[in-house]
Amino acid sequence: KTIITATAVLNLNTPAAQYYLRRILQNDGATFWTAGGISMDGGRLDNNGTFTANAATTLTCTGYNPSGIASDSDFNNAGTFLKQGTGMASFILTSGNVRFNNSGSVDVQAGIMSFSAGGSNSGAIQFTSGTSMTFNDSYTHSGTSVLTGAGTLNLNGGNQSFPAGAQVSAGVLNLGGASVSFATPKTFASVTFSAGTLTGAGDVTVTGTLNWTGTGIMGGSGKTIITATAVLNLNTPAAQ
């Protein structure tokens, strides 16, 4: 195990570098990731301090296994993860998953944060106006999870089930292929529904515009409520 102590700093700042993690890296201090990719080669990253991803390009954290046999790894955030810069911070699947497990705080202040390899949230994920929070694969949202912001929330793939107690809000909600289930009522100003399913017992209230543009399916006992001043656009070409 390598430990960055409470007053120490780790800089990941070499352009085009690939940082191979073959053991546990525990950050109790401050880590700044501004360049290079992280490959989890049997290792794990535990953040208990502050971890800042800040770049105008894409920063990628990926699984890696030279044998070609899939091997899963974890980025565990119990501290504070800050996404800054106009680029993307992406946790993806290659020859192995890198699950992003959050029990602390994720603050997307600029750019895009993308989870494509699973994980879980029992803490708080916030995304400000002009930013995007994207889920491309199944993700576990607990009853204590907070997923809120004035930015865009993209639910593009896998299973995204929000149990009772989970807080969800967004400036724009994009349903782009995931199976989304709300156990309790949720309200959104703007929703685009292009693919996937919307289900669950919770009512979904739209106060602005719902654009139903693709092959999405609504089911479950919950109702989709378009308020008195809102608009529902059914604008799928060749629809029946």
Please answer whether residues 115 and 97 qualify as being in contact, where contact means their C-beta atoms are separated by less than 8 angstroms: no
Give the pair of three-digit tokens for residue 78: 């119990």
**What are the start-end ranges of the H helices in 8-162?**
none
Which residues are within 8 A (CB) of 94 and not within 5 positions of it... i.e. 6 or more apart? 62, 63, 64
Helix, strand, coil abundance in the chain, percent, nearest 5: 0, 60, 40
Q: What is the pLDDT of residues 10-21, one digit of tens each?
A: 999 998 888 989
* Residue 71: predicted pLDDT: 57
β-bridge pairing 2-4 and 119-121: unpaired
Please answer whether residues 177 and 198 qualify as being in contact, where contact means their C-beta atoms are separated by less than 8 angstroms: no
Instruction: Give the global pTM.
Output: 0.94
* Residue 238: predicted pLDDT: 56
pLDDT band at residue 40 using 50, 70 and 90 as cut-offs: confident
Q: What is the pLDDT of residues 155-206, one digit of tens each?
A: 999 999 999 999 999 999 999 999 999 999 999 999 999 999 999 999 999 9
Q: What is the dihedral of CA 209, 214, 220, 222, to 10 degrees?
A: 0
